[in-house]
Chains A and B, each alone.
Chain A
Amino acid sequence: MLLAIKDRITGIIAWFVVILISVPFILWGVQEYTGIGQDKFAIKVNDSKISLQEFDREITRNRQQLLQSFGGRMPTYFDAESFLRTQTVAMMVNRELYKQLIEDNRYRVPVQQVLSIITSDPVFQTNGQFDPDAYAAELRSRGLSKQGYETLLRDQLLASQIQESIRKSAYLTREEVAEYAQLRYQNRDFEYVRIASEKYKQHTTKVSEQDIKAYYEKNSDRYKTEEKIRVEYIELSLAGMLAKVAVDEAQLESTYNTALTDGRFKTDEARNASHILIKVPDGASDEVVAEKRKIIEALRERILKGESFSKVAKEASEDPGSASRGGSLDDVQRGAMVKPFEDALFAAKPNSVTEPVKTQFGFHLILVNNIIEPKVQPFAEVRVILDEEYRRSQAEPMFYDLLDSLANSAFENPNDLAIVAETVGTEVKSSDWFTADKGTGIAENQAVRSTAFSDEVLKDGNNSAPFELEPEHVMVLRVAEHEPSRAKTLDEAREQITQTLQAQQASKALQEVVTAIVSAAENGESLSKLAQVHGGVYKRVETNRDDTDTPREVIQKVFTMHLSKPVDKTFFANGDAAILKLNKVVNGDVQWQKTEEQQKLVKELIQLRGQYDLAAVMDDLKERAEISIHPDLQPQQ
């Protein structure tokens, strides 16, 4: 039979068939060798891959949401893109983990439950009824199929079912609560003496030269001078050049006159006015318009007969903003009001009410209270501005030209600052000594210090590139002298060593006193008496852990103490010492869950434990999964 086929099918068709059949065989497995098709996934969780396209869609959605929540502009104070990337990756990994958990364990929810959520979602309803067309349209706009959306919803439901089942199964037994409450709400009766360290610092004896020497020899590697340098520099500042521009007074005056004709240095005319509005609705019929006109005419009559404008405005105006203020609009400039109103306003005579004016809002009566005449600022008042402008116009092009030649020259002559200075017509100045983090004069500026200590300048000995000290103030510098860090001489270190030795003395003296008090108290001497003898502050307190009047250090110490060893000591951050004596421990109430407040606290504790358990289960799930993420999507260092 095959032979028969072979005999009958010949020529081009046969070859075509053969080639067609062989193509898949040829290409089979080719991606294994070429790498095509590999690394094409964004995220891989166990055996399931999420494609880069899917990831792009998701991150685009998230980006839009983030944009929306920031009012349309990405914030610049953090790296929004990398934030988005990590968030999206974490979200998709999580979602995939849940998806697999659901499938592997066959978590299920009745279909009806999914459907009832869909039909009760107001987004898919028309007039309070589920509308299949609205549902279909909404899904289309979200780019989802019905099946896709229902699966998504189902997975969400199941994920929250899984979370709740872990959270809500957490508990604390009555016994656990009692044990905790007994310890947590203990009351302790204790006394303590606080000894100030200051006193011992003042009373230290002189440190002998011999001790200083001995200490220096032992610890000389601890005392080092800081690395410091001195630089030579040239500056170029626009401010300096501005000062040098010669200004011609006649020139300024002519600029002033030109400016005046351009409308500069002139305030506009304004009118202080009030108005009364009778509204005419949009698209009102002629009859209505006529009726409203009558109303406004009547109001005008009343004013003409002597009633005050503001009284009528308060009573009848339909402009809610101004009616209460007697119709007052304050000072109105041109351009602030609609055209017909503005024309009438600027044509009106002061203190006489206008004819009714028709605008898109309705009919207005306008009263001009007074006219604020336009004012021209005299030359003397604006001379400073013109002078500054003139100087800038002259100096700025020069400054930027010089900046160019400065940059070029500093680059072409990396070893010589004098030539560079000559090129831009300035002189080389030199600084005082400064270190990497402290300096005076120009070295107060952080930019100067960091440039001076940069490898290019310090190690290679080159001119720096021009850098800005502040806007329009540029500097080029090179190192003039350099002193590396070295061991301090005894003289240089004396001051510091003396302080250290004195502090040690003070500490030792205080320790001795503390030890003496502790052993005296252990032998039954009263702490209050010991306090008097040694000049400490004595207190007796009965309190719990939440006490804020007693220092934290004392509370923390006393609640770790035991009646079997009732005397102990602790130290404060400022060096003060405290000697404590514990007298009585009263446990918290075993029946602690009595009050409503206590029950609320227990509830919170249980909820927290639930959260904590859920976190452990989810982390466990993540740890067991094999997760790989495309290198481009991993957080960058």
Chain B
Amino acid sequence: MMQEYSSEQEQIEAIKKWFRENGLAIFIGIAVGFGGLYGWQSWQSYVNKRAEEASSLYSQILVNLDNAQTASVPKATDELIENYSATPYASLAALAAAKVAAVDGNYEQAKERLQWVIDNAQQVQLVPLAKVRLARLFILEKNIDAAAALIEGVPYPASYSARVAELQGDLYSLRGETSLARSSYSTALSAALPAQNREMIQVKLDSLQPDNAEAAPAEETAESTGVTE
């Protein structure tokens, strides 16, 4: 490139020659570039279209939940899971289907749906939600080990602490560890809770059997609230 050209003519000749040698490569390069761009855009619009389809399907599930016409929910959920598992709607549908099954008393089905969310949800915030819902079902089934595996030693976001404390209390209560259950329920009640949620925990706390080990100190505290000035 550093040589000098004596005339315009020579320069043009040199450029032509360079093009003959490299033209094809440049052309292919440009073609690949544009092709890639086009491909990327098509892919994007395809993915968006799929998400829109999934959204429409899922909207129908929400409407059916509202109208209590839940018979079609499992099928629609299966379709979303099968064909649209890359969209967030598959997980949301699974949560809805879990509800339908649980309300029907079909815990097996409900557990399966929640487990799917735990294993497949791309939106990470749905995982702890599915976990506490699943743990609740295990507790209703009195399946202590399975519930414990979801609750004990499992990290949860801070916003779940009251829920997890309640579930832990249920677990202790099932195991007959009354004093531990009592302290777990109290922990749950110390959080800011809506009144009704609080009551649901309070009645469980109230119904715990007294255990003799702590009956004595409890009386001590009662005494200290006696007549004072």
A residues lining the B interface (CB < 8 Å): 1-4, 101, 104-111, 161, 164-166, 168-171, 173-176, 180, 183-184, 197, 200-201, 499-500, 503-504, 506-507, 510-511, 559-560, 562, 564-565, 569-571, 575, 577, 604-605, 608-609, 611-613, 615-617, 619-621, 623-624
The answer to whether residues A621 and B125 also contact, given A105-B88, A168-B65, A183-B203 and a CB cut-off of 8 A, is yes
Beyond A165-B96, A166-B129, whether A564 also contacts B206 by CB under 8 A is: no
Chain A residues whose C-beta falls within 8 Å of the C-beta of B98 in the assembled complex: 169
With contacts A105-B122, A565-B210 known, is A617 near B129, CB below 8 A? yes
B55 A109 Cβ-Cβ under 8 A? yes
The reply to whether the CB of B56 lies closer than 8 angstroms to some CB of chain A is yes
Tally of contacts, chain A with chain B, CB under 8 A: 156
Please give the number of chain B residues whose Cβ is less than 8 angstroms from any Cβ of chain A in the complex.
63
Residues of chain B within 8 A of A105, CB atoms compared: 88, 122-123
A564 with B55: CB separation less than 8 A: no
Closest to B92 in A: A165
A-facing residues in B88-105 (Cβ within 8 Å): 88, 92, 95-96, 98-99, 102-103, 105
Contacts A106-B48, A571-B222, A616-B160 given; does A176 touch B210 at CB 8 Å: no
Q: Which residue of A lies closest to B100 (CB)?
A: A171
Give Cα A503–Cα B124 distance, bound, in whole angstroms.
60
Contact with B52, one of A4, A110, A615 (Cβ below 8 angstroms):
A110
B62 in the interface (beta carbon within 8 A): yes
Residues of A within 8 A of B145 (CB): none
Q: Are A164 and B229 in contact (CB under 8 A)?
A: no
A4 → chain B closest CB, angstroms = 7
Residues of B within 8 A of A (CB): 1-2, 4-5, 47-48, 51-52, 54-56, 58-59, 62, 65-66, 87-88, 92, 95-96, 98-99, 102-103, 105, 107, 122-126, 128-129, 136-137, 140, 157-160, 163, 193-194, 196-197, 199-200, 203-207, 209-210, 215, 222-223, 225-229
Known: A108-B51, A575-B226, A619-B157. A176 touches B140 (CB 8 A): yes
In the complex, which residue of chain A has the Cβ closest to the Cβ of B159? A619
CB distance from B31 to the nearest CB of A (A): 27
Closest residue of A by beta carbon distance from B206: A560
Q: Are A608 and B159 in contact (CB under 8 A)?
A: no
**In the complex, what's the smallest C-beta–C-beta distance from B142 to chain A, in angstroms?**
11
A507 contacts B96, C-beta separation under 8 Å = no
Chain A residue at minimal CB-CB distance from B51:
A108
Q: How far is the CA of A79 from the CA of B47 in the complex (A)?
A: 48
Measured CB to CB, the nearest residue on chain A to B163 is A616
Q: Is the CB of A170 within 8 A of B99?
A: yes
Given A107-B51, A109-B55, A506 and B99 touching (CB < 8 A)? no
For B209, what are the chain A residues with a Cβ–Cβ distance below 8 Å? 562, 564
Smallest CB gap from B47: residue in A: A106
Asked if A503 and B228 make an inter-chain contact with CB atoms under 8 angstroms apart, the answer reads: yes
Q: Are B226 and A180 in contact (CB under 8 A)?
A: no
24 A/B residue pairs, CB under 8 Å, sorted by A:
A2-B2, A105-B123, A106-B87, A108-B52, A166-B129, A168-B99, A169-B65, A170-B99, A171-B99, A173-B137, A180-B200, A184-B199, A507-B227, A507-B228, A511-B223, A511-B226, A560-B206, A571-B222, A571-B227, A616-B128, A616-B159, A617-B126, A620-B159, A623-B158
